[in-house]
Structure 1
Amino acid sequence: MNSFNRIQSIYTDGACSGNPGPGGWGTVIYFEGGAVQELGGSERDTTNNRMEMQAAIAGLSYLADSGQRDPIILYTDSEYVKNGITKWIGGWKKKGWKTSTGKPVLNQELWEILDQFNSSQVEWRYVRGHSGDVGNERCDAIARAFSLGKIPELKTLDSHQQGANLDMIDAQSLSVATSDESKPNDSLDNVPREIRVANLRNSVDMLHMADEIAAKGYLITSSELADLMDINASAVTSRGDNWVWRNWVVSRVRREGNQILWQLERVD
Protein backbone atom coordinates (compact mmCIF):
# COMPACT_ATOMS: atom_id res chain seq x y z
CA MET A 1 0.00 0.00 0.00
CA ASN A 2 1.56 3.31 -1.08
CA SER A 3 1.38 6.46 1.01
CA PHE A 4 -1.36 7.88 -1.19
CA ASN A 5 -3.74 5.11 -0.16
CA ARG A 6 -2.70 4.87 3.50
CA ILE A 7 -5.27 6.30 5.88
CA GLN A 8 -3.71 8.65 8.41
CA SER A 9 -6.66 9.90 10.45
CA ILE A 10 -10.44 9.88 10.60
CA TYR A 11 -12.67 12.67 11.92
CA THR A 12 -16.29 12.04 12.88
CA ASP A 13 -19.23 14.12 14.07
CA GLY A 14 -22.99 13.95 14.42
CA ALA A 15 -25.80 16.49 14.58
CA CYS A 16 -29.50 16.46 15.36
CA SER A 17 -32.23 19.05 14.89
CA GLY A 18 -34.36 18.57 17.98
CA ASN A 19 -32.60 15.64 19.71
CA PRO A 20 -34.60 13.56 19.07
CA GLY A 21 -35.38 14.74 15.57
CA PRO A 22 -33.89 14.77 12.07
CA GLY A 23 -30.20 13.96 12.29
CA GLY A 24 -27.07 13.80 10.21
CA TRP A 25 -23.55 12.47 10.47
CA GLY A 26 -20.27 13.37 8.80
CA THR A 27 -16.96 11.53 8.45
CA VAL A 28 -13.75 12.86 6.91
CA ILE A 29 -10.91 10.45 6.11
CA TYR A 30 -7.43 11.88 5.56
CA PHE A 31 -4.75 10.00 3.62
CA GLU A 32 -1.00 10.48 4.00
CA GLY A 33 -0.66 11.55 0.36
CA GLY A 34 -3.04 14.47 0.92
CA ALA A 35 -6.19 12.85 -0.43
CA VAL A 36 -9.52 13.22 1.36
CA GLN A 37 -12.64 11.06 1.39
CA GLU A 38 -15.81 12.51 2.91
CA LEU A 39 -18.85 10.50 3.95
CA GLY A 40 -22.20 11.51 5.36
CA GLY A 41 -25.83 10.60 5.76
CA SER A 42 -29.05 11.33 7.58
CA GLU A 43 -31.93 9.80 9.54
CA ARG A 44 -35.40 11.24 9.91
CA ASP A 45 -35.87 10.50 13.62
CA THR A 46 -32.78 9.97 15.74
CA THR A 47 -30.58 11.47 18.46
CA ASN A 48 -27.28 13.30 18.49
CA ASN A 49 -25.50 10.41 20.23
CA ARG A 50 -26.68 7.93 17.61
CA MET A 51 -25.41 10.18 14.84
CA GLU A 52 -22.04 10.52 16.58
CA MET A 53 -21.83 6.73 16.72
CA GLN A 54 -22.95 6.29 13.12
CA ALA A 55 -20.19 8.62 11.94
CA ALA A 56 -17.58 6.58 13.81
CA ILE A 57 -19.01 3.32 12.47
CA ALA A 58 -18.83 4.65 8.91
CA GLY A 59 -15.20 5.66 9.36
CA LEU A 60 -14.12 2.34 10.82
CA SER A 61 -16.12 0.41 8.23
CA TYR A 62 -14.26 2.30 5.51
CA LEU A 63 -10.99 1.46 7.24
CA ALA A 64 -11.92 -2.23 7.37
CA ASP A 65 -12.83 -2.28 3.69
CA SER A 66 -9.49 -0.69 2.79
CA GLY A 67 -7.57 -3.67 4.19
CA GLN A 68 -5.10 -1.35 5.93
CA ARG A 69 -3.32 -2.75 8.98
CA ASP A 70 -1.32 0.36 9.89
CA PRO A 71 -2.55 2.30 12.95
CA ILE A 72 -4.79 5.33 12.52
CA ILE A 73 -6.14 8.07 14.78
CA LEU A 74 -9.88 8.62 15.07
CA TYR A 75 -10.96 12.04 16.33
CA THR A 76 -14.39 12.62 17.87
CA ASP A 77 -15.86 15.54 19.81
CA SER A 78 -18.19 13.13 21.63
CA GLU A 79 -16.93 12.06 25.04
CA TYR A 80 -19.91 9.70 25.09
CA VAL A 81 -18.52 7.80 22.09
CA LYS A 82 -14.87 7.92 23.12
CA ASN A 83 -15.44 6.86 26.72
CA GLY A 84 -18.04 4.32 25.73
CA ILE A 85 -15.82 2.44 23.29
CA THR A 86 -12.56 2.77 25.29
CA LYS A 87 -13.72 2.56 28.93
CA TRP A 88 -17.30 1.46 29.47
CA ILE A 89 -18.02 -1.18 26.86
CA GLY A 90 -16.08 -3.96 28.60
CA GLY A 91 -18.19 -3.60 31.73
CA TRP A 92 -21.40 -3.38 29.73
CA LYS A 93 -20.69 -6.67 27.99
CA LYS A 94 -19.78 -8.42 31.25
CA LYS A 95 -23.07 -7.28 32.77
CA GLY A 96 -25.11 -8.44 29.76
CA TRP A 97 -25.37 -4.94 28.31
CA LYS A 98 -26.49 -3.38 31.57
CA THR A 99 -25.18 -0.19 33.13
CA SER A 100 -23.74 -0.01 36.63
CA THR A 101 -27.26 0.75 37.87
CA GLY A 102 -28.72 -2.29 36.10
CA LYS A 103 -30.48 -0.37 33.32
CA PRO A 104 -30.23 -1.44 29.67
CA VAL A 105 -27.44 0.28 27.76
CA LEU A 106 -28.87 2.79 25.32
CA ASN A 107 -28.02 2.30 21.64
CA GLN A 108 -26.81 -1.25 22.28
CA GLU A 109 -27.09 -2.30 18.63
CA LEU A 110 -24.81 0.55 17.53
CA TRP A 111 -22.32 -0.16 20.33
CA GLU A 112 -22.14 -3.77 19.16
CA ILE A 113 -21.39 -2.69 15.59
CA LEU A 114 -18.82 -0.15 16.74
CA ASP A 115 -17.19 -2.77 18.96
CA GLN A 116 -17.00 -5.14 16.01
CA PHE A 117 -15.05 -2.63 13.93
CA ASN A 118 -12.88 -1.32 16.77
CA SER A 119 -9.39 -2.75 17.36
CA SER A 120 -5.97 -1.87 18.75
CA GLN A 121 -5.27 -0.42 15.31
CA VAL A 122 -7.44 2.56 16.25
CA GLU A 123 -6.28 5.29 18.61
CA TRP A 124 -9.27 7.24 19.89
CA ARG A 125 -8.76 10.93 20.57
CA TYR A 126 -11.18 13.55 21.85
CA VAL A 127 -11.20 16.91 20.08
CA ARG A 128 -13.19 19.83 21.43
CA GLY A 129 -16.02 20.82 19.11
CA HIS A 130 -16.19 24.30 17.57
CA SER A 131 -12.56 24.94 18.51
CA GLY A 132 -11.26 25.66 15.01
CA ASP A 133 -9.97 22.15 14.25
CA VAL A 134 -10.30 21.86 10.47
CA GLY A 135 -11.29 18.18 10.41
CA ASN A 136 -13.86 18.57 13.18
CA GLU A 137 -15.35 21.71 11.66
CA ARG A 138 -15.74 20.01 8.30
CA CYS A 139 -17.44 16.97 9.85
CA ASP A 140 -19.75 19.29 11.76
CA ALA A 141 -20.69 21.13 8.56
CA ILE A 142 -21.49 17.86 6.78
CA ALA A 143 -23.50 16.46 9.68
CA ARG A 144 -25.48 19.66 10.23
CA ALA A 145 -26.26 19.99 6.53
CA PHE A 146 -27.69 16.46 6.41
CA SER A 147 -29.67 17.05 9.62
CA LEU A 148 -31.33 20.05 7.94
CA GLY A 149 -32.27 18.08 4.84
CA LYS A 150 -29.51 19.55 2.71
CA ILE A 151 -27.20 17.55 0.46
CA PRO A 152 -23.62 18.82 0.86
CA GLU A 153 -21.02 18.30 -1.85
CA LEU A 154 -18.60 15.70 -0.52
CA LYS A 155 -14.96 15.40 -1.49
CA THR A 156 -13.97 12.01 -2.84
CA LEU A 157 -10.77 10.07 -3.15
CA ASP A 158 -11.37 9.63 -6.89
CA SER A 159 -11.50 13.36 -7.50
CA HIS A 160 -8.17 13.81 -5.72
CA GLN A 161 -6.59 11.03 -7.73
CA GLN A 162 -7.71 12.79 -10.89
CA GLY A 163 -5.79 15.83 -9.77
CA ALA A 164 -8.73 18.04 -8.91
CA ASN A 165 -7.79 20.80 -6.49
CA LEU A 166 -11.10 20.94 -4.67
CA ASP A 167 -10.03 23.57 -2.18
CA MET A 168 -9.17 25.92 -5.03
CA ILE A 169 -12.47 25.15 -6.74
CA ASP A 170 -14.35 25.93 -3.52
CA ALA A 171 -12.50 29.22 -3.17
CA GLN A 172 -13.18 30.16 -6.79
CA SER A 173 -16.85 29.25 -6.42
CA LEU A 174 -17.12 31.45 -3.34
CA SER A 175 -15.46 34.33 -5.20
CA VAL A 176 -17.87 34.01 -8.10
CA ALA A 177 -20.86 33.82 -5.76
CA THR A 178 -19.90 36.98 -3.89
CA SER A 179 -19.02 38.96 -7.01
CA ASP A 180 -22.13 37.95 -8.99
CA GLU A 181 -24.99 37.34 -6.58
CA SER A 182 -27.56 37.84 -9.35
CA LYS A 183 -26.46 34.64 -11.08
CA PRO A 184 -29.09 31.91 -10.60
CA ASN A 185 -28.19 29.05 -8.25
CA ASP A 186 -28.72 25.93 -10.37
CA SER A 187 -27.86 23.62 -7.49
CA LEU A 188 -30.77 24.93 -5.42
CA ASP A 189 -33.13 24.54 -8.38
CA ASN A 190 -32.21 20.88 -8.53
CA VAL A 191 -33.07 20.27 -4.86
CA PRO A 192 -36.54 18.70 -4.46
CA ARG A 193 -39.27 21.11 -3.35
CA GLU A 194 -39.98 19.05 -0.22
CA ILE A 195 -36.40 19.57 0.97
CA ARG A 196 -36.51 23.30 0.18
CA VAL A 197 -39.74 23.64 2.16
CA ALA A 198 -38.23 21.67 5.06
CA ASN A 199 -35.21 23.97 5.02
CA LEU A 200 -37.49 27.02 5.06
CA ARG A 201 -39.43 25.56 7.99
CA ASN A 202 -36.17 25.02 9.90
CA SER A 203 -35.17 28.61 9.16
CA VAL A 204 -38.49 29.95 10.46
CA ASP A 205 -38.13 27.84 13.61
CA MET A 206 -34.65 29.29 14.06
CA LEU A 207 -35.98 32.85 13.70
CA HIS A 208 -38.72 32.17 16.26
CA MET A 209 -36.08 30.83 18.63
CA ALA A 210 -33.95 33.96 18.17
CA ASP A 211 -37.01 36.12 18.90
CA GLU A 212 -37.68 34.20 22.11
CA ILE A 213 -34.06 34.50 23.21
CA ALA A 214 -34.20 38.27 22.64
CA ALA A 215 -37.60 38.74 24.30
CA LYS A 216 -36.64 36.75 27.39
CA GLY A 217 -33.24 38.41 27.67
CA TYR A 218 -31.42 35.07 27.69
CA LEU A 219 -27.63 35.11 27.47
CA ILE A 220 -26.17 32.44 25.18
CA THR A 221 -22.64 31.18 24.61
CA SER A 222 -20.60 31.51 21.43
CA SER A 223 -21.18 27.87 20.50
CA GLU A 224 -24.94 28.20 21.10
CA LEU A 225 -25.03 31.37 19.02
CA ALA A 226 -23.06 29.61 16.28
CA ASP A 227 -25.58 26.75 16.30
CA LEU A 228 -28.43 29.25 16.06
CA MET A 229 -26.82 31.03 13.10
CA ASP A 230 -25.53 27.80 11.50
CA ILE A 231 -21.94 29.02 11.37
CA ASN A 232 -18.65 28.10 13.04
CA ALA A 233 -18.06 29.37 16.57
CA SER A 234 -14.84 31.06 15.43
CA ALA A 235 -16.91 33.15 13.01
CA VAL A 236 -18.93 34.48 15.95
CA THR A 237 -16.01 35.75 18.01
CA SER A 238 -14.24 37.21 14.96
CA ARG A 239 -17.10 39.67 14.32
CA GLY A 240 -16.36 41.87 17.32
CA ASP A 241 -18.41 42.93 20.33
CA ASN A 242 -21.46 44.38 18.56
CA TRP A 243 -22.87 43.52 15.16
CA VAL A 244 -26.13 43.00 13.31
CA TRP A 245 -27.48 39.61 12.30
CA ARG A 246 -30.75 39.60 10.38
CA ASN A 247 -33.29 41.34 12.67
CA TRP A 248 -31.14 41.47 15.78
CA VAL A 249 -28.22 43.35 17.25
CA VAL A 250 -25.82 40.86 18.78
CA SER A 251 -23.79 42.17 21.71
CA ARG A 252 -21.03 40.64 23.76
CA VAL A 253 -22.04 40.92 27.42
CA ARG A 254 -19.34 39.27 29.50
CA ARG A 255 -17.13 36.25 29.93
CA GLU A 256 -17.82 33.45 32.40
CA GLY A 257 -14.86 31.13 32.70
CA ASN A 258 -13.98 30.01 29.18
CA GLN A 259 -17.35 31.05 27.77
CA ILE A 260 -18.29 34.35 26.15
CA LEU A 261 -21.94 35.27 26.71
CA TRP A 262 -23.98 37.14 24.06
CA GLN A 263 -27.30 38.98 24.05
CA LEU A 264 -29.75 39.47 21.17
CA GLU A 265 -31.88 42.62 20.79
CA ARG A 266 -34.61 42.94 18.17
CA VAL A 267 -34.03 46.10 16.10
CA ASP A 268 -37.22 46.38 14.05
Structure 2
Amino acid sequence: MIDVYIDGASAGNPGPSGAGVFINYKNGQVENHSVPLGSMSNHEAEYEALIIALDICLEKGLTTASFRTDSKLIDDAIEKRYVKNKQYQPYLEKAFSRIEQFDLFFLKWVPSNQNKNADALARKAIRKT
Protein backbone atom coordinates (compact mmCIF):
# COMPACT_ATOMS: atom_id res chain seq x y z
CA MET A 1 0.00 0.00 0.00
CA ILE A 2 1.29 3.44 -0.92
CA ASP A 3 1.34 6.45 1.42
CA VAL A 4 -0.05 9.70 0.03
CA TYR A 5 0.66 12.91 1.93
CA ILE A 6 -1.49 15.93 1.06
CA ASP A 7 -1.50 19.60 1.99
CA GLY A 8 -3.12 22.80 0.84
CA ALA A 9 -1.76 26.26 1.51
CA SER A 10 -2.83 29.85 0.92
CA ALA A 11 -0.96 33.14 1.09
CA GLY A 12 -3.87 35.10 2.51
CA ASN A 13 -7.35 33.89 3.24
CA PRO A 14 -8.38 33.97 0.48
CA GLY A 15 -5.23 34.39 -1.55
CA PRO A 16 -2.92 32.63 -3.97
CA SER A 17 -3.09 28.94 -3.13
CA GLY A 18 -1.42 25.66 -3.90
CA ALA A 19 -1.77 21.93 -3.38
CA GLY A 20 1.04 19.56 -2.48
CA VAL A 21 0.90 15.80 -3.00
CA PHE A 22 3.76 13.54 -1.95
CA ILE A 23 3.44 9.86 -2.86
CA ASN A 24 5.69 7.29 -1.23
CA TYR A 25 5.63 3.95 -3.01
CA LYS A 26 7.73 2.41 -0.20
CA ASN A 27 10.12 0.85 -2.69
CA GLY A 28 12.46 3.81 -2.87
CA GLN A 29 10.28 5.58 -5.43
CA VAL A 30 8.48 8.82 -4.57
CA GLU A 31 6.47 11.35 -6.55
CA ASN A 32 6.10 15.07 -5.94
CA HIS A 33 3.16 17.10 -7.22
CA SER A 34 2.94 20.86 -6.76
CA VAL A 35 -0.28 22.30 -8.20
CA PRO A 36 -1.15 26.03 -8.29
CA LEU A 37 -4.81 26.60 -7.45
CA GLY A 38 -5.42 30.31 -7.95
CA SER A 39 -7.09 32.40 -5.27
CA MET A 40 -9.05 30.56 -2.56
CA SER A 41 -9.17 30.01 1.19
CA ASN A 42 -6.83 27.68 3.02
CA HIS A 43 -9.68 25.24 3.72
CA GLU A 44 -10.61 25.16 0.03
CA ALA A 45 -6.95 24.49 -0.82
CA GLU A 46 -6.93 21.56 1.63
CA TYR A 47 -9.96 20.02 -0.08
CA GLU A 48 -8.48 20.64 -3.52
CA ALA A 49 -5.27 18.88 -2.45
CA LEU A 50 -7.28 15.83 -1.41
CA ILE A 51 -9.23 15.74 -4.67
CA ILE A 52 -6.09 16.22 -6.78
CA ALA A 53 -4.34 13.40 -4.90
CA LEU A 54 -7.34 11.09 -5.37
CA ASP A 55 -7.38 11.91 -9.10
CA ILE A 56 -3.64 11.23 -9.43
CA CYS A 57 -4.02 7.85 -7.75
CA LEU A 58 -7.02 6.86 -9.86
CA GLU A 59 -5.31 7.93 -13.10
CA LYS A 60 -2.36 5.68 -12.16
CA GLY A 61 -4.57 2.77 -11.12
CA LEU A 62 -3.46 3.10 -7.50
CA THR A 63 -6.63 2.06 -5.70
CA THR A 64 -5.11 0.88 -2.43
CA ALA A 65 -3.73 3.85 -0.54
CA SER A 66 -3.21 5.33 2.88
CA PHE A 67 -3.60 9.11 2.85
CA ARG A 68 -2.11 11.47 5.44
CA THR A 69 -3.20 15.04 6.14
CA ASP A 70 -2.35 17.59 8.81
CA SER A 71 -5.78 19.18 8.34
CA LYS A 72 -8.25 18.29 11.10
CA LEU A 73 -10.98 19.80 8.89
CA ILE A 74 -10.32 17.23 6.15
CA ASP A 75 -9.81 14.34 8.55
CA ASP A 76 -13.07 15.07 10.40
CA ALA A 77 -15.08 15.63 7.21
CA ILE A 78 -13.98 12.32 5.69
CA GLU A 79 -14.34 10.36 8.92
CA LYS A 80 -17.82 11.74 9.69
CA ARG A 81 -18.91 12.15 6.04
CA TYR A 82 -20.14 15.56 7.11
CA VAL A 83 -19.18 19.24 6.91
CA LYS A 84 -20.45 21.92 9.28
CA ASN A 85 -19.91 24.68 6.73
CA LYS A 86 -22.15 23.89 3.75
CA GLN A 87 -19.73 25.84 1.52
CA TYR A 88 -17.51 22.73 1.62
CA GLN A 89 -20.25 20.21 0.80
CA PRO A 90 -19.42 20.13 -2.95
CA TYR A 91 -15.79 19.36 -2.11
CA LEU A 92 -16.83 16.51 0.17
CA GLU A 93 -19.11 15.08 -2.51
CA LYS A 94 -16.31 15.26 -5.10
CA ALA A 95 -13.94 13.52 -2.72
CA PHE A 96 -16.35 10.68 -1.95
CA SER A 97 -17.19 10.16 -5.62
CA ARG A 98 -13.49 9.35 -6.04
CA ILE A 99 -12.94 7.49 -2.76
CA GLU A 100 -15.72 5.07 -3.74
CA GLN A 101 -13.53 3.97 -6.68
CA PHE A 102 -10.75 2.79 -4.34
CA ASP A 103 -10.44 -0.84 -3.27
CA LEU A 104 -8.94 0.25 0.05
CA PHE A 105 -8.72 3.85 1.29
CA PHE A 106 -7.51 5.17 4.62
CA LEU A 107 -7.11 8.74 5.78
CA LYS A 108 -5.14 9.56 8.87
CA TRP A 109 -4.43 12.87 10.56
CA VAL A 110 -0.73 13.50 11.23
CA PRO A 111 1.02 16.43 12.94
CA SER A 112 2.45 19.09 10.62
CA ASN A 113 6.02 17.94 11.30
CA GLN A 114 5.17 14.59 9.67
CA ASN A 115 3.74 16.30 6.58
CA LYS A 116 6.68 18.50 5.62
CA ASN A 117 7.09 17.20 2.07
CA ALA A 118 3.48 17.93 1.08
CA ASP A 119 3.61 21.29 2.85
CA ALA A 120 6.73 22.32 0.93
CA LEU A 121 5.10 21.26 -2.35
CA ALA A 122 1.95 23.27 -1.55
CA ARG A 123 4.03 26.36 -0.73
CA LYS A 124 6.04 25.90 -3.93
CA ALA A 125 2.75 25.83 -5.88
CA ILE A 126 1.74 29.19 -4.39
CA ARG A 127 4.90 30.73 -5.88
CA LYS A 128 3.88 29.36 -9.30
CA THR A 129 0.52 31.22 -9.31
Contact 1:40/1:55 (<8 A) preserved: no
Corresponding residue number in structure 1 for 2:96: 115
Say whether the 8 Å CA contact 2:34–2:124 is kept in structure 1. no
Gaps of 5+ in 1: 1-6, 93-98, 151-194, 196-268
Q: Which has the higher strand share?
A: 2
Deviation for aligned residue 1:55: 1.1
- Ranges of 4+ aligned residues in structure 1 off by more than 6 Å: none
TM-score relative to the length of structure 1: 0.44
Question: Could you list the runs of 5+ residues in structure 2 that have no partner in the other structure?
Answer: none
Q: Distance in 2 between matches of 1:84 and 1:50?
A: 13
Aligned mates of 2:32, 2:62 — CA distance in 1: 18
Verify the 8 A CA contact 1:17 1:23 in the aligned structure 2. Answer: yes
Match of 1:18? 12
Q: CA RMSD in A?
A: 1.9
Change (3 A) 1:68 1:144: closer
The residue aligned with 2:2 is 8
In structure 1, the partner of 2:78 is 85
Q: What is the CA distance between 1:25 and its match in structure 2?
A: 0.9
- Greater length-normalized contact order (CA 8 Å, ≥ 6 residues apart): 2
Q: 1:68 deviation in Å? A: 3.5
Q: Is the 8 A contact 1:10 1:29 kept in 2?
A: yes
After superposition, give the CA deviation of every residue in 1:202-238 in whole Å (9 maximum; x if it has no partner).
xxxxxxxxxxxxxxxxxxxxxxxxxxxxxxxxxxxxx
- Counterpart mapping for 1:32-181 below 5 A: 32-69=26-63, 71-89=64-82, 99=84, 105-119=86-100, 121-129=104-112, 131=113, 133=114, 136-147=115-126, 149-150=127-128
CA-CA distance at 1:32 after TM superposition: 2.9
1:15–1:143 Cα contact (<8 Å) kept: yes
Q: Once the 2 structures are TM-superposed, how far is the Cα of residue 143 of structure 1 from its aligned partner?
A: 0.8
| TM-score, structure 2 normalization | 0.87
Structure of larger gyration radius: 1
The Cα of 1:66 is off from its aligned counterpart by 2.3
- Percent identity reads 27
